[in-house]
Amino acid sequence: MHFIRHGQSTFNAAESMGDPQIPDAPLTARGLEQARQAGEKLKGKGVTRLIVSPYTRALQTATAIAEVIGASLHVEPLAGERCLYSCDIGTPLSRLRKDWAHLDFAHLPREKWWPEFGESHEALTARVQAFGEKWNAHLAQGDHALVSHWYFLNALTGHDFENGEVLTRKN
């Protein structure tokens, strides 16, 4: 099982002074490099598909990883971040389809697909459980990896992820 936190975003780079008000924050140059390094760590591990959150920083991270390992991307809204900060306000579905025309966003339920602001811990836990029921068998096979966010990955694994970190666990 492979779990990857997105690379450093513009929000992450600026958050030491509080919420910098950057909706759906993209990667910084450092974040893009972290994504490429994550791809190098996954080389030779048999990953053929990346399950990825619909947020821009996760899509950019997964795209960079996919370029290194030759994997396809599957956009999964269940793997999105807990909506607590400005960076957790997503990009509307119509714009994602335009900006990422090569990806399939059919699994996004509506134009505003991200959780309500201030998503509760209980709601996040329910989303993580639904994700597990849908994807755990694929992740356990090792041919899929997940690119997501701190809160989601922490709730799923109990691990405290750094930007761009790859966590590999045996089944």
Instruction: Tell me the per-residue pLDDT of 110-164, one tens digit each, with 9 for 90 and over.
Output: 999 999 899 999 999 999 999 999 998 888 888 999 999 999 999 999 999 999 9
Phi-psi map region of 44: left, alpha, beta (phi>0 left; psi -120 to 50 alpha): left
The percent of residues in the chain predicted with pLDDT above 70, rounded, is 99
Q: Give the confidence band of 18 by pLDDT, cuts at 50, 70, 90.
A: confident
Domain of residue 14, residue span: 2-168
The predicted pLDDT at position 142 comes to 84
Query: What does the pLDDT average to over 49-66?
Result: 98
Least confident of 12-16, 46-50, 73-77, 117-121: 12-16
Closest CA to 147 of 47, 79, 93: 79
The predicted pLDDT at position 61 comes to 98
The predicted pLDDT at position 83 comes to 92
Query: Which residue is it, tokens 């030491």?
Result: 16
The predicted pLDDT at position 139 comes to 85
Q: Give the confidence band of 16 by pLDDT, cuts at 50, 70, 90.
A: confident
As for how many domains the chain has, the answer is 1
Query: What does the pLDDT average to over 95-121?
Result: 95
For residue 98, which amino acid is it? Answer: K
Inter-helix orientation angle 56-69/29-42, to 10°? 40
The predicted pLDDT at position 171 comes to 64
Q: Count CB neighbours of 13 within 10 A.
A: 17
Least confident of 6-20, 47-61, 63-77, 139-153: 6-20
Widest distance between CA atoms in the chain: 42
The number of residues in the chain equals 171
Q: What mean pLDDT, rounded, does the chain reach?
A: 95
The pTM (predicted TM-score) of the whole model is: 0.95
Contact 114, 89 (CB under 8 A): yes
